[in-house]
Amino acid sequence: MDFVSVLNSIDAVIWGPPLIILLLGCHLYTTYKTKFIQRKLPLALKLSLTSDDKAEGDLSNFGAMVTSLASTLGTGSIVGVATAILSGGPGAVLWMWLTGILGMATKYVEVFASMKYRVKDVRGEMMGGAMHVWEQRFKREDGTVPWWAKFMAIWFSVFALFSIFGIGYAVQTSSITSVFQVNLGVEPWIVASIVCGSALIIIYGGLQRISSICEKLVPIMGAAYILGCIYILICNAPLLWDTVVLIFECALTPKAAFGGAVGSGIMMALQFGCARGLFSNEAGLGTQPIIAAAASSKNPARQAQGSISRATGEGFEAQILVACAYYRAHGIAEIDKTPEPVKVISGRHQNASGCWSFEAVFTKQAQPDFQGTIYGGSSVVFEAKATDKDRILQSAVTEEQARALESHANMGALAFVLVCLRGRAVYRVMWEAWQNMKELFGHKYMTAVELEPYRVQMRRGVILFLGDAG
């Protein structure tokens, strides 16, 4: 058995009844659980074209949409549909339609989860996808991740890497080189070199450059694609009804139809229709949510869980600044907010709205939030943490922040973590107690009851984390 035969055998097993049932079953289940989310398609299109300036993210909603479309529209869709019809007969088209329509719900759930559990890297950029969902969704209260969740995250990443070469660049590059070779007589290696070189230049600029180019090219490509399809339909208008009838007959009956070079019938149409439908809309593949997670969007799930935390955190920091001003005015302490460790990499420039901006990169990970000096010469350094939950995790303080706090504490500074629980009570946990949380309480978190001895008094809205000035 040669290598091609082995690949065909593997393909027949992978795209056999079990996976088809699983894929379509998942589409039906998510459609049911989302109460037929497909009916919200007009709203989805509106939101995709509407910017959300106040939301966190690296890309605009439109940028994320066109970037995802770039991998599914055009060469892949055209060649994919042709391949499905050639291999599975006209009936494959119906199953592609159903996979696309029902797959909207699955894709919605994928993006929903990806945005809910997305995280920021050390540079402040958004990261998301199934691998982060596995880790963040099943993270324990003490900050650890079960081994099986870690395994599934790694497993997905490995298969996503393989899919890039197997169903992404390889297929599209092969189609492009074939077109140029057949129609213009250009050698495949020349076209492949140009395609790979162009891709390298674009990818080297990062997600922002990819999105920027897609915002310009994808609308043109999409318009050309749609207009071309409309033109073909108009030219073949007398055959449309017979074509639709043939598609349903070949999809739902054992009728052997023309075009099935590999085979035809219900099973073959179902197999190739579902396979090409998956690759055309990526519903169930899990790669598109990686891009969607970078979008500047207030996802409902994220907003439900994170908006309170963000508002609480911003309000808590504002309260601390008021307290710092109070201590400064009474000559008790001089405490300032620690600036972000960044390095400017490009000069400032003015955007269309007249605002000035510049580009910078983080030179190191975040340091403790506040540092200063208490009257008499003692140093004070602390990290501020706010949560909308009923406990605070030890992992809320990063390793870099922990090392800085410990270093300051060892040199005699007043080091602590200032905790705000649910926007109500404030607690000052000295660093010695914070780092020994496991030994003191039996777990790597502190509940409201365990925090109570560390409660900070407030007077007229001022957080007296250093005591009252009198």
Domain boundaries, the chain: 3-298, 302-347+358-463
pLDDT tens digit sequence for 50-81:
655 445 554 566 666 666 666 666 555 666 67
Segment 329-344 shows an average pLDDT of 77
More confident residue, 392 or 218: 392
pLDDT at 252 over 80: no
Read off the tokens for 5.
Answer: 């035969």
What whole-number distance in Å separates Cα of residue 373 and Cα of residue 80?
67
Query: Partners of 335 in the beta sheet?
Result: 372
pLDDT at 245 over 80: yes
Q: Which residues contact 333 (CB under 8 A, 6 or more apart)?
A: 324, 327, 372, 373, 374, 375, 380, 466
Give the distance, in angstroms, between the CA of residue 314 and the centroid of all CA atoms in the same chain. 24
Among residues 112, 46, 42, the alpha carbon closest in space to that of 298 is found at: 112
Torsion angle of the four alpha carbons 290, 293, 296, 301, in this order, in degrees rounded to the nearest 10: 150
Q: Which amino acid is at 274?
A: C
Other C-beta atoms closer than 10 Å to the C-beta of 68 total 23
Phi, psi of 466 (to 5 degrees): -115, 10
What whole-number distance in Å separates Cα of residue 188 and Cα of residue 100?
33
| Per-residue confidence (pLDDT) for residue 319, from 0 to 100 | 85
Statement: the pTM of the whole predicted model exceeds 0.85: no
pLDDT at 235 over 50: yes
Q: Could you tell me if 303 and 310 are in contact, meaning their C-beta atoms sit under 8 angstroms apart? A: no
| Per-residue confidence (pLDDT) for residue 262, from 0 to 100 | 45
CATH class of the domain comprising 302-347+358-463: alpha beta
Top-confidence range, 271-280, 343-352, 432-441: 432-441
Among residues 282, 296, 292, the alpha carbon closest in space to that of 104 is found at: 282
Read off the tokens for 442.
Answer: 């039996």
Give the distance, in angstroms, between the CA of residue 42 and the centroid of all CA atoms in the same chain. 23
Confidence of residue 361 (pLDDT cuts 50, 70, 90): very low
Residues 360-389: b if buried by 16+ CB within 10 A, e if exposed:
eeeeeebbbbbbbebeeeebbbbbbbbbbe
Question: What share of residues in the chain are helix, strand, coil (percent, to 5)?
Answer: 60, 15, 25
Confidence of residue 455 (pLDDT cuts 50, 70, 90): very high
Phi, psi of 138 (to 5 degrees): -105, 15
pLDDT at 340 over 80: no
| Per-residue confidence (pLDDT) for residue 96, from 0 to 100 | 79
What whole-number distance in Å separates Cα of residue 234 and Cα of residue 232?
5
Q: Which residue, chain included where needed, has tokens 């291999």?
A: 87
Q: Could you tell me if 248 and 89 are in contact, meaning their C-beta atoms sit under 8 angstroms apart? A: no
Q: Could you tell me if 450 and 425 are in contact, meaning their C-beta atoms sit under 8 angstroms apart? A: no
Confidence of residue 231 (pLDDT cuts 50, 70, 90): very high
What whole-number distance in Å separates Cα of residue 428 and Cα of residue 423?
15
Confidence of residue 259 (pLDDT cuts 50, 70, 90): very low
Pairing state between β 119-120 and 126-127 = antiparallel
Q: Which residues contact 180 (CB under 8 A, 6 or more apart)?
A: 186, 188, 191
pLDDT at 445 over 80: yes
